[in-house]
Amino acid sequence: MRIFSGIQPTGDKHLGNYSGGFRQYAAYQERGDAFFCIVDLHSITVDYDPADLHEQTINMAAMLFATGLDPERSTVFVQSHVPAHAEAAWLLGSVTSFGELRRMTQFKDKADRQDFVSAGLFSYPVLQAADILLYQTDAVPVGEDQRQHIEVARDIAERFNGRFGETFRLPEMIAPAVGAKIMDLQEPERKMSTTGGTPQGTVRLLDPPDVIRKKFKTAVTDSGADVRRDADSKPGITNLIEIMSVATGDEMDAVEARYDGQGYGHFKEEVADAVIALLDPIRSRYDELRSDPRELQRLLAIGAEKAREASDPTLQAMLERMGFVKSEAGRLFGAVRPREL
């Protein structure tokens, strides 16, 4: 089974990214041939600082390995190191309609938060489709917020296959059964997010323990006292039960049973302790890995080489079926041989 998922290097990574992203990556690398991409070309679609992008790309590599990716088993690479992504995105743009991009809720949400709305932000799902389709991906482990984007990637693939001949495998989205959408601790009706959430309601993976404790202590709940799930009337407590389940691996029913009748204050403290216990070893591994940027760059270079080799046949097939003329070297325009880089 071919697995692919991407994560942006910019924006501090939080518990939601761990639950829908990192945690699933580490689990899915065991199930097949896995590619994990640091999608730096996506990061430039909103306002950003070039110095930060550089720094955070290396930070993200450290975080991917710290949360359990094994460089021997998984291909971990940076999107901009594989030119096929940008090239395929341009080609796929011609089989994507303006109307389907205009409907994307993530575009609307992010556009509302920008002074300058870039064309790149609008066509973000096309680049994401290229990322996924280039690898003949079967499964895409992501959080629930990505559902609409994965559906568009499938629609684009079907349209391309229908028009130019069978070229892409249709990818399936894989969201975790628990923790597919971790909500903001202060405003539990919206998802936890660095740019779209509240600072106090967003638990960053690198927050120190005392900051994490404070964030859970002040988490918004309801006026009741039962530690029980009810998404409509108890969104805050429901979210905390889900977070507890993600942090400990215990079933949500077992969490409810354990804290039955104990009140919210005690439960919040214990959720904070469980999250700290989860993140402590990740933070230590991260610090250790981050102290050796050369080694991280070496691992990313190996990943890029493997990713270029894996994606090139699909890009070549796309170009050929779309009618492009071959170069003198017998290659189709647009593709870069791995050893030329």
Name the site residues for ligand AQP (rule: CB under 6 A).
Answer: 7-8, 11, 16-17, 19-21, 142-143, 145-146, 180-182, 191-196
Residue nearest to ligand AQP (CB): 20
Tell me if 141 sits within 8 A of 18, measured CB to CB.
no
CB of residue 165 to ligand AQP, shortest distance in Å: 31
Nearer to ligand AQP, 46 or 95 (CB): 46
Nearer to ligand AQP, 48 or 324 (CB): 48
Nearer to ligand AQP, 271 or 318 (CB): 271
CB of residue 184 to ligand AQP, shortest distance in Å: 8
CB of residue 156 to ligand AQP, shortest distance in Å: 19
d(CA 158, CA 235): 37
Q: Which two tokens stand for residue 183?
A: 């909500």
**DSSP 3-state assignment of 214?**
helix
d(CA 168, CA 92): 12
d(CA 155, CA 168): 11
Q: Which two tokens stand for residue 311?
A: 């994606």
Nearer to ligand AQP, 193 or 318 (CB): 193
Tell me if 333 sits within 8 A of 324, measured CB to CB.
yes
CB of residue 180 to ligand AQP, shortest distance in Å: 6
**Strands (DSSP E) along the chain, which ranges?**
2-7, 33-38, 75-78, 139-141, 172-174
d(CA 275, CA 287): 18
CB of residue 39 to ligand AQP, shortest distance in Å: 6
Nearer to ligand AQP, 191 or 234 (CB): 191
By residue count, the chain amounts to 341
